[in-house]
Amino acid sequence: MKLSEGTTLQGGKYRIEKSLGQGGFGITYLAEDTRLRRQVVIKEFFIGELCFRENETSQVTVLSEGGRKKVDHFRKKFFREAQIVGGLNHPNIITIHDVFEENNTAYYVMDYHPNGSLQDKLKELRGPMAEADALRYIRQVADALDEIHKKQLRHLDVKPSNIMLNQRGEAVLIDFGLVKVYDEEGNPLSTHSSTQNGYSSCFSPMEQVFSDKDTVFTPATDIYALGATLYNLVEGTVPPTIDKVAKMKGNLPFSDTTSQPMRKAITEAMQLNAEDRPQTIAEFLKLLPLKATDPSVAYQKDLAEGIAFFQVGKYVKALSRFLVLLRVYPAHKAEIEEWMMKCTEKMNDSESGGGETLRRKDNPPTPPKPTPTPAPRPKIVKDALLLVLIVALAFIFLPKNCKGGGELQSIDEFGVDTPVVDSFPVDSAWVDSIENDVFWVDSVDTSVVDTAYYRELNSHQYVDLGLSVIWATCNVGASRPSDYGDYFAWGEISPKSEYTKENSVTWEKSLGDIGGNVQYDAARAGLGGSWRLPTFDELIELKEKCKWTWTTQGGHNGYKVTGPSGKSIFLPAAGWHYGASPNYVGECGYYWSSSPYESDTQRAYFLYFHSSHCDWLWYHRGFGRSVRPVSD
């Protein structure tokens, strides 16, 4: 259906290099302008459900006479979209250089921006963007929207994936496929969108989601999307959909790293009713802080607090502070991790009697002397106290909706219980924010996984959960789904009697993804065939697309994980190994991925869970963890 690589257009003026993507109404290509010797982007009008391409000639034909009228109608709108964008002259709006007809369809040619989009930028960061950077990009997009609104246009599709970064690192607004034109009084001149009325589930306001052909959009519609985009940048996660915004009644979930001025600007822009939002770009810009807090000054202050805890022997509090800094100040990663390592070394020393006393579940503290009964806590704090104890550390440094990562295991894996509640500001607002952020699971369930749908691959049973890969029913080294199985250091194929960084085979070894490599993949080495370790993305798919129920099977705690197909696997909470002894067996699960941590050759990604929380993290390759195989 797409033009082949090397295809030329306009008598050889443009040569197709590759396809960049395809939507319902068009295909986008990376191409070379052979005369100017530069790369450009070419958008081709092509309705996949109605059109067909002849491979030999590249000609586009309409599959039916009934569809020809619809194709002609939207091709005119495609041309109109190019004319509208071509009439805009702004440094933060995409530039169209050419428009033409060929192959019985239409094309227009735009600038190519190799630095990707803001969505790509967020994927690289794997978390929130610094407020100073987010403010700079949002102001640039706001300036573009101001120009668009002055032309009586509404963009109606503002989101990070439609904001590219040019060679100077400036934001450029693209994709005018939903644009609409109005007169001076705000009356629609005509519907110029090449895709009818559309919307983005997390970036469009109520009036757009529930629109019809007669809906009139004001600049406030684009301002909602701009506020939602700013939320995405500073929070590191997509904003809630409009139905969730309605239920929240204006109380959007923010992390503690987002400043109050930023929260206010976003909240005002994302008001449910259009008339309650800023009505112009100028009004929205007034809500934005003039500048973000100087990160160097704030960093030194926050770092000093962590060091102060460390110097007085409060290693748990110090480490929790450094975990926050690691997320907020990624530019200072090396210095922060150096302090984190100092903390973990001191915490290891304390296991043998020195330093701060670190409590274990198997070594409870001496009961304190009786004290007078305190006044009752507020109900919300009482109800959430246990939750706070379990997830406090994870909450303060993981990105929203459990889509980030961090060094949680620098505490848990050294045998330290979660810190006492007075290490954190426990109040009802803070607890409410946790309730909007934590990975929730069903309550304890004693049901077992139905074995009726087990199948075999290379003599090993698997379950098709309805995901991109099939999942084995047992851990490597286990004979039953409830058995813990063997433990493996990352990149090693045999269990060991002792696990340390010193005897880690892959410690500081530069490796790519090890999935399917019999030298490093315990699943491939143990099960053979096409079995392998799951990738980072496949672990995330398992986490986000399945229902997780904490349960007991075969006498072992773990999760019953039910996929979109309705079928389930059981992941036992096998704990982890470091040194010669197992830790947190029956309480937590740690499952390796095949993906190394990109920024550090000492670490790799894994899936972590306990009875009320599940997420991905990264940590030392030398730890012994479980392996659950997958296959394509």
Can you tell me the distance from the alpha carbon of 322 to that of 236, in angstroms, rounded to the nearest whole number? 19
User: Taking the CB of residue 189, how many other CB atoms lie within 10 A of it?
Assistant: 10
pLDDT score recorded for residue 295 = 53
Can you tell me the distance from the alpha carbon of 38 to that of 32, in angstroms, rounded to the nearest whole number? 6
Would you list the DSSP string of 434-446? HHTTS---EEEE-
Kindly report the three-state secondary structure assignment for every residue of 332-369: HHHHHHHHHHHHHHHHHHHHCCCCCCCCECCECCCCCC
- pLDDT greater at residue 81 or residue 275: 275
- Nearest C-alpha neighbor of 274 from the set 231, 216, 229, 233: 216
Predicted structure pTM score: 0.49
398-428 burial string, b = 16+ CB within 10 Å, else e? bbbbbbbbbbbbbbbbbbbbbbeeebbebee
Is the pLDDT at 183 greater than 60? The verdict is yes
pLDDT band, very low/low/confident/very high, at 492 (cuts 50, 70, 90): very high
- Nearest C-alpha neighbor of 336 from the set 316, 321, 317, 347: 321
Strand, helix or coil for residue 388: helix
Is the pLDDT at 385 greater than 70? The verdict is no
pLDDT score recorded for residue 454 = 63
User: Taking the CB of residue 124, how many other CB atoms lie within 10 A of it?
Assistant: 9
Half-sphere exposure of 455 (CA within 13 A, CB side): 8
Can you tell me the distance from the alpha carbon of 349 to that of 367, in angstroms, rounded to the nearest whole number? 24
Rg (CA), the chain: 28
Q: Spelled out in words, what is the top-level CATH class assigned to the domain 8-111?
A: alpha beta
**Separation in Å, CA 178 to CA 44, 196, 221, 243:** 16, 7, 12, 22
Is the pLDDT at 44 greater than 50? The verdict is yes
Domain extents in the chain: 8-111, 118-287, 295-364+377-417, 443-631
pLDDT score recorded for residue 375 = 45
- Nearest C-alpha neighbor of 405 from the set 551, 562, 600, 586: 600
How wide is the angle at C-alpha 271 spanned by C-alphas 267 and 276, nearest 5°?
115
User: Taking the CB of residue 108, how many other CB atoms lie within 10 A of it?
Assistant: 22
When mean pLDDT is compared across 77-86, 194-203, 295-304, the lowest value belongs to 295-304
pLDDT band, very low/low/confident/very high, at 142 (cuts 50, 70, 90): very high
Per-residue pLDDT tens for 83-115?
Answer: 888 888 899 999 999 999 999 999 999 999 988
- Nearest C-alpha neighbor of 617 from the set 603, 602, 607, 628: 607
Would you list the DSSP string of 1-38? -PPPTT-EETTTTEEEEEEEEE-SSEEEEEEEETTTTE
> Which residues 6+ apart lie within 8 Å of 135 measured at CB?
288, 289, 291, 292
Tokens 């987002």 -> residue: 258
CATH number belonging to the domain at 118-287, selected among 3.40.50.2300, 1.10.3210.10, 1.10.510.10, 1.10.3720.10:
1.10.510.10
**Separation in Å, CA 556 to CA 129, 420, 446, 573:** 41, 28, 11, 7
Is the pLDDT at 361 greater than 50? The verdict is no
pLDDT score recorded for residue 431 = 27
Tokens of 211: 């629109």
